[in-house]
Structure 1
Amino acid sequence: METLKGIQQNKMFINGKWVSALSNETFDVINPGTGEIIDSVPLGREGEAILAVDAADQAFQCWSEKTANERSSLLMNWFHLVLDHKEEIASILTAEQGKSITEARGEVDYAASFISWNAEEAKRIYGETIPASAQNKRIVVIKQPIGVVAAITPWNFPAAMFTRKIATALAAGCTAVIKPAESTPLTAIKLTELAHEAGIPAGVLNVVTGDPKTIGKAWLDDKRVKKITFTGSTPVGKYLMREAADSIKKVSLELGGHAPVIVFDDADIEKAVEGVISSKFRNSGQTCVCANRIYVQRGILPEFTEKLKNEVKKIKVGIGTDLDVNIGPLINEAGYLKVQRHVDDAVKKGAKIELGGKRMEQFQGGYFFEPTILSGVHEQMDIMNEETFGPVAPIIPFEDRNEAISQANNSDYGLAAYVYTESLSTAIKIAEKLEFGIVGINDGLPSTAQAPFGGVKQSGIGREGGRQGIEEFLENKYLSIRI
């Protein structure tokens, strides 16, 4: 078995030490582009999950009492180390996740931005004073870290989702236990190695790899864990929310999406096509904010469709390490089967394949799907109601503003939406009517560390990023002082 160089092999990180599973069992990490085993990591379960909480609980008092400047300085050390090791992290990320090396480098920069942003936010945790109802009283509100945080991160952005949660928790003064996705644990291990090198004390950050059910259950049942933060599917988010109720844990959930794109007839078509490609095909369509339903005003439908087809034809699909590749494979067989099911269902119900539509068989062992465009799509198709998580762009015509708003909001999800128009008035009016936590106006890539990321309806609870993100890891304490 060929392993990646420069990372801690076959180890979890608990209480400042690299450890094997209590059972000494491991599981394999597979390259989705080739089907080859690239490494193995410990198969942790309940015992390791509890040991991680033991360490985080013990470290909490010391870490939470550090000054904001001390925590900020350590996080900035981590930030610089991540950038210093950008190429190594990107190579690991591409090997286990499949995205192109160019995208992987971009993700490392994105991941680092959450560390630097929250290093500064650590110094901006302000309380307040409130006018009292009596002359002999004073009211003061202080903010304190919530305690031990359990984080569960997804495979589609294994670096960025790790730092978005962990850097924020640590900046707030919390300690953390984290379980990375089974498909992509190696990136998390490398980032943890660098956090340790940066001087983050033992027990403050603990990583457990392995069985999601037993690890998650242990953290949900443990009263010392005060908060669960999760990015992933809506069904799993619902489960975590239900189970967290027994001990009234604070919950942050960034769940599924089904993003609409609305292209009005006054839009800059080239700009709209560029935005749709950036949103839809980035990471092979495996993002929670990617375009899932593309509504195009009927007057520009033929021109938009043709231009989109011409640009999508230029997308280079292949093994992520090839420098000229734009997008890589789907994460696994289940991911491929879902994408193929959505395309087949749409065609059966009357859709037309304008481009693509099937697996790319020339890549033996990998899960590659052709960049695909569908026309003639309607709301009775699975692709219009379920998150596809693949490189398939369904196009739907609309007549007027009210129809576009109604169709766009006709979803249980409410994470991201996109509007393309050259009218400022139209853009603002539509954005205010859309039931989504994020609206990109002539912008297919709205995510950034300094803005609050999150959704409404069944797309989640809470926000990550911006000044709002750190609030999710703090408790308000009200002091009534009689003088």
Structure 2
Amino acid sequence: MQRFNNLIGGVSTPPVSGQWMPSLDPYKNENWCEIPDSGPADVDKAVAAARQAFESPAWAGLSATARGALLRRMGDLITENAQRLAELEVRDNGKLLNEMLLQLRTIPQWFYYYAGLADKVEGAVLPIDKADQFVYTSWEPLGVVAAITAWNSPLLLLTWKIAPGLAAGNTFVVKPSEFTSTSTLAFAELFEQAGFPPGVVNVVCGTGQRTGAPLVAHPDVAKVAFTGSDGAGKAINQAAAGMLKKVTLELGGKSPNIVFADADLDAALAGVASGIFAAAGQTCIAGSRLLLQRSVHDQFLEKLRNMMQGVRIGDPFDPETQIGPIANRPQYDKVLTCINEAREEGAEVFWGGKALEHPSGGLFVEPTIFTAVDNASVLAQREVFGPVLAVIPFEDEAEAVQIANGSRYGLAAGVWTQDMPRAFRMSKALQAGTVWINTYRAVNFMAPFGGYKDSGLGRENGQEMIKAYLQPKTVWINNSTQPPGNPFVMRLN
């Protein structure tokens, strides 16, 4: 069985404890490799390497333009290695090779974008009303950043953190999910090839408890950038707050996908299917609540039934496959538990509703659609993170907004309508960090991404997000040749 090591200070490093953990291929439901089961000692080594790199002239002495050149080279290397990296992700999490290849061929755009921004962050000279003072501001990196990523799109989610963070001049310790670590380890090796000094990017593998918690609590970590569940995010935020660390948290969602009667129903159908069944529903932006206007409720569900009859479920490496397996055993069990609980609550199974026996023995769950769903029910309020859709009817625009906003989450929302004034009203009324009109599940390096309410803190992507990895400094220079005033009084004017 193939065995992977941590990457610390540019060196492939086995865990201090000598302990390893298996990584599962969810399509075959069998272990295919081993990753380090790291602990606090490994975290200490990685943070020390990142701290040393942050302070070394090899990194700290680089100009912002030089950092941008390294990021551009990294983008080129990702393109050259896209096939290998995509295949590792598919082996670890069962997502479609079609999607993983698309992600890996697009990820370089983030590196090119932030490479261009690296030397565009400018301070300012302040027009202070004191003739004898010269005052200016500059932006400086934070230091060591802990990046903790989820298992559904490991490299895309890491890129959202590491591209702006490196452009800003920080160094990183990355803790990937224990379910999907191999692609991150292979990805991290490319940084040295691109010319980054050793220790600028380090990777320690392991569980949240043994590896993630000591990383968050480490005194030399200045910021934590996390993608994952809201429960884990709240625990990280609480731990970081006790040490006044900065955080960026991209957490869960229970996003509404709202279809009005005047919508192009065929386009909406594709958007609804994409929103909940792409990636087997294992996305934070999954449109897991389908809000249907009553006048088209039955018609739309019939269209959805017809579509589901032709869906291809199976091998994620097969280009004809449309839905792959659930990524890991705990998530598989959780999805099936949620389906059973929804039945007990009184929701009605319109389609699917059980585990799918597949010849591969993989972790498959039937795409499942529930009707007769109350928006106050557990099914409508809890993030399932699987191919489970809750259908809720509504009468008019006001009720649609009320239902959509009736959730502790606020990551994303979709609206399907050909009434543009309504589209603008809905985009303003919906409590969500991203609102898609007549499309769904679209992201871009230029577009800020993040959530309202329990869906997180801060944003990722976009021009301003580089400042989430910087801190301002104000410098005062006294030009006066006159004796100072009263030394016991603050100078306010």
- The answer, yes or no, to whether TM exceeds 0.5 is yes
Amino acid paired to 1:32: P
Amino acid paired to 1:33: Y
CA distance in 1, matches of 2:275, 2:419: 21
Structure 1 partner of 2:249? 253
Q: Say yes or no: does 1:346 pair with 2:342.
A: yes
Residue among 60, 80, 88 paired with 1:84: 80
Deviations 1:202-254 (A, max 9, x none): 01000001232232232233221110111001111111111112220001111
Secondary structure of the residue aligned to 1:407 is: helix
Amino acid paired to 2:42: E
Correspondence 1:40-439 to 2 at 5 A? 40-61=34-55, 62=57, 63-439=59-435
Q: Contact 2:206 / 2:212 at 8 angstroms: preserved in 1?
A: no
Q: Contact 1:115 / 1:164 at 8 angstroms: preserved in 2?
A: no
Structure 2 partner of 1:6? none
Q: Contact 2:260 / 2:293 at 8 angstroms: preserved in 1?
A: yes
Secondary structure of the residue aligned to 1:124 is: coil
Structure 2 partner of 1:38? 32
Deviation at 1:313, TM superposition (A): 2.5
Amino acid paired to 1:200: F
Query: Which 5+ residue runs of structure 2 have no aligned equivalent?
Result: 480-493
Structure 1 partner of 2:484? none
CA distance in 2, matches of 1:349, 1:209: 39
Deviation at 1:299, TM superposition (A): 1.0
Deviations 1:386-431 (A, max 9, x none): 0011111221110011111111111111111111111111111111
Amino acid paired to 1:414: G
Give the greater-gyration-radius structure (CA).
2
Q: Contact 1:266 / 1:422 at 8 angstroms: preserved in 2?
A: yes
Deviations 1:436-477 (A, max 9, x none): 111111111221111111111111111111112211101011
CA distance in 1, matches of 2:111, 2:311: 32
Secondary structure of the residue aligned to 2:116 is: helix
Q: Contact 1:150 / 1:219 at 8 angstroms: preserved in 2?
A: yes
Q: Which runs of 4+ in 1 moved over 4 A?
A: none
Amino acid paired to 2:389: A
Q: Contact 2:4 / 2:34 at 8 angstroms: preserved in 1?
A: yes
Amino acid paired to 1:57: R
Q: Contact 1:34 / 1:363 at 8 angstroms: preserved in 2?
A: no
Change (3 A) 1:245 1:355: same
Deviations 1:272-311 (A, max 9, x none): 1111111111110000001011101111112211112222
Amino acid paired to 1:47: A
Secondary structure of the residue aligned to 2:107 is: helix
Matched residues, percent identical? 37
CA distance in 2, matches of 1:80, 1:444: 29
Structure 2 partner of 1:451? 447
Amino acid paired to 1:450: M
Deviation at 1:197, TM superposition (A): 1.2
Superposed CA RMSD in Å reads 1.5
Q: Say yes or no: does 1:476 pair with 2:472.
A: yes
Amino acid paired to 1:12: N
CA distance in 1, matches of 2:134, 2:439: 47
Q: Say yes or no: does 1:11 pair with 2:5.
A: yes
CA distance in 2, matches of 1:86, 1:221: 34
Aligned residues: 477
CA distance in 2, matches of 1:302, 1:432: 28
Deviation at 1:371, TM superposition (A): 1.4
Q: Contact 2:257 / 2:287 at 8 angstroms: preserved in 1?
A: yes
Q: Contact 1:10 / 1:26 at 8 angstroms: preserved in 2?
A: no
Deviation at 1:23, TM superposition (A): 1.9
Amino acid paired to 1:258: K
Secondary structure of the residue aligned to 1:422 is: coil
Amino acid paired to 2:423: A
CA distance in 2, matches of 1:363, 1:375: 30
Structure 2 partner of 1:22? 16
- Give the alignment's TM-score, normalised by structure 2: 0.94
Change (3 A) 1:120 1:312: farther
CA distance in 2, matches of 1:280, 1:468: 30
CA distance in 2, matches of 1:179, 1:242: 19
CA distance in 2, matches of 1:204, 1:150: 12
Amino acid paired to 1:155: W
CA distance in 1, matches of 2:60, 2:267: 47
Deviations 1:53-106 (A, max 9, x none): 111111113323311111111111111111111111111111111011111112
Query: Which 5+ residue runs of structure 1 have no aligned equivalent?
Result: 4-8
Deviation at 1:136, TM superposition (A): 3.1
Deviation at 1:51, TM superposition (A): 0.6
Deviation at 1:344, TM superposition (A): 2.4
Amino acid paired to 1:84: E
Q: Contact 1:431 / 1:439 at 8 angstroms: preserved in 2?
A: yes
